[in-house]
C-alpha cells in the first residue's frame, strides 16, 4: 500500500549515496562485464519511493551510477537520502549539496536509525522502519516543504506490517547496471551475536512479507530486465524456519513456470545444515549460494561472541552438507577478536584450504553502535577513534599492527590465483555438479542475453586470458569449463575471481580497508556542515 489521503503533491528526489571501494561490492569485476557499475539496487529507498503518495512525482538517483545534478536539485521540492554507516560522509555530502539549493533533506535507513547524532545537518531524521514516522514526514512535507528552523526527529513507534509494504519501485532503477538483483522477504534475526546490530535495529522476532508479495516482486524484477542472480537481503533467511518452508514451494513453482530464469542467493546461519527439508527445497528453487557468517573456525571465539549456533554441527561438516545440495558457501570472517592469538592467521588459512570456500569476506572487528560489543568495549575503555588512519575502532588485545599484518597476509595467501582457482575447481566438481539440471529459459536464449555473454567472454579472454598476469592459471580452469560447455559458470567464477585477486593484491600492500566499516581511504572526505 501507499501513503494516501494527501492532496498536495510534492516532487521528491531520492538519492542513494556512493559506496567506497570495498571487498563486498565486486567493483574490480565491473570492467569485465557489459557495463555493470554498481552492486545491488537499494531496497530501502526504492521502497520509500513506492510508498510515497501516488500523485507525488519521484526521481531516483543512485550516485554509484551518476551524481545527482543541478537540474535534479532544481526540479525537487525535498530530498530523501538513505544508507549505511560506511556511506556516512557521502550522505552528509548530499545534504550539503541539497542545502545549497535550499531544499529540505530527510534521512532514513539503518545508519541514522542506529546513530541519529551522526547527522546533525539534516532537516528531518527518520529513525526506525517504515511506519507512523514515514506518514508524519509525508504529512509535514505536504503542509510545508521548506526547511524547518530546527532539526525534526521522527521515530517510528508503529511499524507498517511487511505484508502491507508496496512493491519496491524497481522500475526507477537501471537494473542492467547492477551486478545483482535484490529482494527482501524478512527482517530481523532471533540470535544475538555480540558484534551485530540487526537484532537491536530490526528485532529478534523476524517480520515477514507474504509469499504472494515475493512472487509479485520476482515478476516485477523480471519485467524490469533482471534475469541473472537475485540476492535475498534478509538478515537470516531461516530466522523463521517455518516461514522459509512456506515460501520455498512458491519459489519452486515460480522457477518452473518461468524456466528457472533466476539463480537465487541468500544469507543464513550455518545451522541451516541441520535442516535437510529446507536445503532440499532450496536446491529445487535453484538457490546456488548461501552467505554464512562463520566468523571464525575457533570454537572458543564463537562462544565468546555468542554465536554458539554455528557449532550445532561441526563447521566443515556443515559446509559440506550445504555444498551437497548444490549451494556454494560464502563466508564472513572476523579477525581481531579478543580470543585471537598470534597463530590465528595460520589457522584461518588452514580453514580456507579445508573448507574449499572460494569467497570469504575477511574483515577486522569493528564495533557498531547499538551492539553489545560496543557497550562492552565502551565499559572497558577500548573504543578508539578510527578517523585517524586506523582500520578499526577497537583496541585489540594483540598489537594493532600485528592484527593488520596478519589480515594482509591472509588476504594475500588466500587469494593467490592458483589457490583461488583450485577452490573454484573443487566447487565445480563437488558443489555445482549437485545442482538440479535446469532448462534454458526464454530470457537466456534471447539475443540480448547472448550478446551480453559474448561481451563478457570477450572482456575476460582479452583482459585476463591475454593480458592478465595470472593467465596460465586462468586458462587451466577455463579450458575445463569450456570442455564441459559451462559458459555461465566460467563467466561467473572468472568475474568473482578477478575481483578477489585484484582486491587482495591491493589489500596486501595497504591500499584497501581491512574492514567493510572502516572510514579510512574513503574517497569523499566531506564534513557535516
- 46 touches ligand SF4 by CB under 6 A: no
Min dist CB 205 to ligand SF4, Å, is 12
Strands 104-108 and 124-127: parallel
Min dist CB 269 to ligand SF4, Å, is 5
Give CA–CA dist 346/282, Å, rounded: 34
Q: Count of residues binding ligand SF4 (CB under 6 A)?
A: 11
Distant-in-sequence, close-in-space partners of 145: CB < 8 Å, separation ≥ 6: 10, 77, 78, 104
- 293 touches ligand SF4 by CB under 6 A: yes
Min dist CB 189 to ligand SF4, Å, is 3
Min dist CB 297 to ligand SF4, Å, is 16
- 269 touches ligand SF4 by CB under 6 A: yes
Give CA–CA dist 95/103, Å, rounded: 9
Quote the DSSP letter at residue 155: E
- 217 touches ligand SF4 by CB under 6 A: no
Position among 189, 264, 322, 329 found at the interface with ligand SF4 (CB under 6 A): 189
Q: For ligand SF4, which stretch binds (CB under 6 A), given 135-143, 191-199, 495-503, 505-513?
A: 191-199
Min dist CB 462 to ligand SF4, Å, is 40
- Grid cell, residue 7, equals 492532496
- 271 touches ligand SF4 by CB under 6 A: no
Min dist CB 236 to ligand SF4, Å, is 5
Position among 38, 91, 138, 196 found at the interface with ligand SF4 (CB under 6 A): 196
Give CA–CA dist 128/158, Å, rounded: 10
Q: Please identify, using beta-carbon distances, which residue of 190 and 225 lies nearer to ligand SF4.
A: 190
- 198 touches ligand SF4 by CB under 6 A: yes
Give CA–CA dist 451/442, Å, rounded: 14
Q: Please identify, using beta-carbon distances, which residue of 63 and 235 lies nearer to ligand SF4.
A: 235
Give CA–CA dist 423/446, Å, rounded: 32
- 490 touches ligand SF4 by CB under 6 A: no
Position among 44, 128, 199, 228 found at the interface with ligand SF4 (CB under 6 A): 199
Q: For ligand SF4, which stretch binds (CB under 6 A), given 190-198, 349-357, 375-383, 386-394?
A: 190-198
Q: Please identify, using beta-carbon distances, which residue of 196 and 364 lies nearer to ligand SF4.
A: 196
Min dist CB 299 to ligand SF4, Å, is 16
- Angle at CA of residue 184, ends 445 and 194, nearest 5°: 130
- Grid cell, residue 120, equals 546533525
Position among 129, 235, 338, 391 found at the interface with ligand SF4 (CB under 6 A): 235
Min dist CB 19 to ligand SF4, Å, is 21
Site for ligand SF4 in 351-410 (CB under 6 A): none
- 270 touches ligand SF4 by CB under 6 A: no
Q: Please identify, using beta-carbon distances, which residue of 84 and 152 lies nearer to ligand SF4.
A: 84
What secondary structure does DSSP assign to 392-445, as a single string? -SB--SS-HHHHHHHHHHHHHHHT-HHHHHHHHHHHHHHTGGGSPP-PPPHHHH
Give CA–CA dist 132/63, Å, rounded: 28
The per-type count for the chain, helices as H runs and strands as E runs, is: 19, 14
- 236 touches ligand SF4 by CB under 6 A: yes
Min dist CB 153 to ligand SF4, Å, is 26
Position among 191, 351, 424, 474 found at the interface with ligand SF4 (CB under 6 A): 191
Min dist CB 310 to ligand SF4, Å, is 9
Strands 181-183 and 263-267: unpaired
Rounded-to-10 torsion of CA 436, 439, 440, 441: -100
Element (H, E) at 287: strand 287-295
Give CA–CA dist 307/53, Å, rounded: 42
Q: Please identify, using beta-carbon distances, which residue of 199 and 336 lies nearer to ligand SF4.
A: 199
Q: What is the largest CA-CA distance in the chain?
A: 68
Distant-in-sequence, close-in-space partners of 37: CB < 8 Å, separation ≥ 6: 30, 64, 65, 177, 178
- Grid cell, residue 48, equals 520509500
Burial tier of 35 (Cβ tally within 10 Å: 0-12, 13-18, 19+): exposed
x/- mask, ligand SF4, residues 149-188, rule CB under 6 A, reads ----------------------------------------
Strands 124-127 and 152-155: parallel
Q: Please identify, using beta-carbon distances, which residue of 192 and 361 lies nearer to ligand SF4.
A: 192
Report yes or no: 105 and 129 within 8 Å, Cβ to Cβ. Answer: no
Min dist CB 141 to ligand SF4, Å, is 33
- Interacting residues toward ligand SF4 by CB under 6 A: 189, 191-193, 196, 198-199, 235-236, 269, 293
Amino acid at each position: 500500500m501507499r501513503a494516501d489521503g494527501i492532496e498536495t503533491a510534492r516532487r521528491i528526489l531520492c538519492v542513494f549515496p556512493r559506496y567506497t571501494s570495498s571487498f563486498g561490492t565486486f567493483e574490480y569485476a565491473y570492467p569485465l562485464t557489459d557495463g555493470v557499475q554498481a552492486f545491488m539496487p537499494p531496497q530501502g529507498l526504492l521502497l520509500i519511493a513506492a510508498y510515497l503518495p501516488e500523485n507525488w512525482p519521484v526521481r531516483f538517483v543512485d550516485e554509484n551510477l551518476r551524481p545527482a545534478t543541478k537540474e535534479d536539485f532544481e526540479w525537487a521540492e525535498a530530498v530523501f537520502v538513505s544508507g549505511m554507516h560506511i556511506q556516512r560522509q557521502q550522505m552528509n555530502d548530499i545534504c550539503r549539496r541539497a542545502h545549497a539549493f535550499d531544499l529540505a533533506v530527510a534521512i532514513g535507513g539503518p545508519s541514522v536509525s542506529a546513530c541519529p547524532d551522526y547527522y546533525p545537518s539534516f532537516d528531518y531524521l527518520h529513525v526506525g522502519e517504515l511506519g507512523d514516522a514515514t506518514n508524519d514526514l509525508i504529512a509535514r512535507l505536504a503542509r510545508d516543504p521548506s526547511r524547518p528552523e530546527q532539526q525534526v526527529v521522527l521515530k517510528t513507534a508503529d511499524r507498517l506490517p511487511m505484508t502491507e509494504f508496496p512493491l519496491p519501485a524497481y522500475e526507477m532503477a537501471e537494473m542492467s547496471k547492477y551486478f545483482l538483483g535484490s529482494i527482501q522477504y524478512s527482517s530481523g534475526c532471533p540470535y544475538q551475536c555480540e558484534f551485530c546490530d540487526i537484532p537491536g535495529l530490526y528485532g529478534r522476532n523476524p517480520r515477514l512479507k507474504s509469499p504472494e508479495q515475493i512472487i509479485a516482486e520476482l515478476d516485477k524484477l523480471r519485467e524490469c530486465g533482471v534475469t541473472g542472480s537475485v540476492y535475498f537481503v534478509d538478515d537470516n533467511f531461516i530466522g523463521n524456519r517455518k516461514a522459509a518452508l512456506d515460501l520455498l514451494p512458491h519459489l519452486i513453482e515460480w522457477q518452473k513456470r518461468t524456466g528457472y530464469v533466476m539463480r537465487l542467493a541468500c544469507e543464513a546461519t550455518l545451522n541451516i545444515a541441520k535442516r535437510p527439508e529446507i536445503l532440499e527445497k532450496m536446491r529445487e528453487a535453484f538457490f546456488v549460494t548461501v552467505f554464512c557468517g562463520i566468523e571464525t573456525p575457533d570454537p572458543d571465539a564463537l562462544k565468546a561472541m555468542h554465536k554458539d549456533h554455528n557449532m550445532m554441527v561441526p563447521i566443515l561438516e556443515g559446509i559440506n552438507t550445504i555444498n551437497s545440495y548444490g549451494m556454494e558457501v560464502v563466508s564472513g570472517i572476523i579477525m581481531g577478536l579478543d580470543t585471537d592469538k598470534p597463530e590465528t592467521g595460520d589457522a584461518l588459512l588452514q580453514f580456507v584450504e579445508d573448507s574449499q570456500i572460494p569467497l570469504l569476506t575477511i574483515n577486522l572487528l569493528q564495533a557498531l553502535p547499538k551492539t553489545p560489543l560496543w557497550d562492552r568495549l565502551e565499559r572497558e575503555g577500548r573504543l578508539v577513534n578510527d578517523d585517524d588512519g586506523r582500520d578499526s575502532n577497537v583496541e585489540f588485545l594483540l598489537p594493532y599492527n600485528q592484527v593488520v599484518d596478519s589480515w594482509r597476509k591472509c588476504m594475500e595467501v588466500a587469494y593467490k590465483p592458483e589457490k583461488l582457482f583450485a577452490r573454484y575447481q573443487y566447487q565445480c566438481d563437488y558443489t555445482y555438479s549437485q545442482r538440479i539440471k535446469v532448462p534454458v529459459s526464454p530470457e537466456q536464449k534471447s539475443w540480448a542475453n547472448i550478446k551480453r555473454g559474448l561481451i563478457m567472454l570477450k572482456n575476460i579472454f582479452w583482459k585476463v586470458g591475454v593480458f592478465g598476469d595470472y593467465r596460465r592459471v586462468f586458462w587451466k580452469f577455463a579450458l575445463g569449463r569450456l570442455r564441459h560447455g559451462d559458459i555461465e559458470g566460467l563467466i561467473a567464477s572468472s568475474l568473482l575471481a578477478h575481483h578477489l585477486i585484484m582486491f587482495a593484491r591491493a589489500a596486501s600492500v595497504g591500499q584497501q580497508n581491512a574492514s567493510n566499516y572502516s572510514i579510512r581511504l574513503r574517497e569523499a572526505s566531506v564534513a557535516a556542515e
